[in-house]
Amino acid sequence: MTDLQQHPAQKAIDRFGRTINYLRVSLTDKCNLRCVYCMPEDMIFRPQAELMQDHELMALVRVFASLGFNKYRLTGGEPTVRQNIVDIVGGIASTPGVTSLSMTTNGILLDELAAPLAKAGLQRVNVSIDTLDPARFKRITRWGSLDKVWAGLEAAEQAGLTPIKINAVVVKGFNEADVTELAKLTIARDWQVRFIEMMPFGDVAGFAKEQIVTDAQIRERIAQDYLPLEPVGVANGRMDGEARMYRFPDAKGEVGFISSVTMPFCASCNRARLTADGVLRLCLLRDKEVDLLTPLRHGATEHDLKRIILDGIWHKPWGHGLSDDIVPLTRVMSQIGG
């Protein structure tokens, strides 16, 4: 398909019939932490001139919104280190067609930013916390302070950026012993703690594959340490986006499992990713990408950009190839946006 007339509804639909309406937008490849599963400690970031500038980002968001993309999640790197982050949130939130705007953050700067971000139009946050043990938190993040993240969580809740979701990537040898205490946060709080399998990328692919802890292993650990989790709704737990949901009896919150490697959810995938350097990435775990920033900088019209996006989405892969040992190698996670 190469012409907009073949997409009369102006919606982004792939060749498998999936409607793609969820865009994860990486605002920067930079981060103020160096988590072991994400990037090397001596990570070299792209020059700012090679990344989307504010006006370019907003131009692309308007094009995506006109194609039916109504759900947006801001990612990084760490999105809160992006200059003008509050203005960017306000611009996206006010774009016609945008109905959902959330952010995934490490929480380090959330204490000071939660209130202004909420006022600008941000609706929810996912905060990454891989352990409640301060020493292990430092070991995993290399630079992080658990106290600062916790202060950010409390600020987010006070600002109404709810429901609060906590993302925990479980890494063998680093934090699998911490899953029970993390899960127990949902007993007294209406939070969602989500355990995420490590995903192999680029230079850290070998490390990631060796360190995967499956959702079955996590649930077994929690049952041994405390109580078994019960599936929510259906036998294997109802799906909330990509997370399969469980809970403790009488708990206020829920525990989710995102098992992209061992239990992929490709059939229901409705998302694409816009990297900080203006590239449309069609699958998190595939290297197929479509450059949008170069055409934009060379004078592409809105019509041109729509055609490029629709053609790219049409060729979105069915799913990842990890079972065939096909690993994405061109970028690490911080260069894509989670």
The pLDDT tens digits of the residues spanning 264-300 come to 678 889 999 999 999 999 987 676 899 999 999 999 9
pLDDT of residue 311: 97
| DSSP letter string, 222-290 | HHHHT---EESSSTT--EETTEEEEE-TT-SSEEEEE-TTTS--GGG--EEEE-TTSEEES-TTS--EE
Report the half-sphere exposure of 158 (CA within 13 A, side-chain side): 13
Q: Which CATH architecture has domain 16-335?
A: Alpha-Beta Barrel (3.20)
Residue pair 35/107 in contact by the 8 Å Cβ criterion:
no
Say which residues have a Cβ less than 8 Å from residue 325's Cβ, sequence separation at least 6. none
Alpha-carbon distance of 10 to 273, in angstroms, equals 19
- Which among 261, 292, 299 has a CA at the least distance from the CA of 275? 292
Closest CA relative to residue 332, chosen from 34, 63, 97: 34
Note the pLDDT of residue 334. Answer: 54
Residue 337's pLDDT is: 56
Domain ranges of the chain: 16-335
Tell me the pLDDT tens digit for each residue of 237-254. Answer: 788 888 999 999 999 999
φ and ψ of 115, to 5 deg:
-65, -50
How confident is the model at residue 312, as a pLDDT?
96
The pTM of the full predicted model, rounded to 2 decimals, is 0.89
Low pLDDT (below 70) residues in the chain: 1-9, 37, 199-210, 264, 285, 287, 320-338
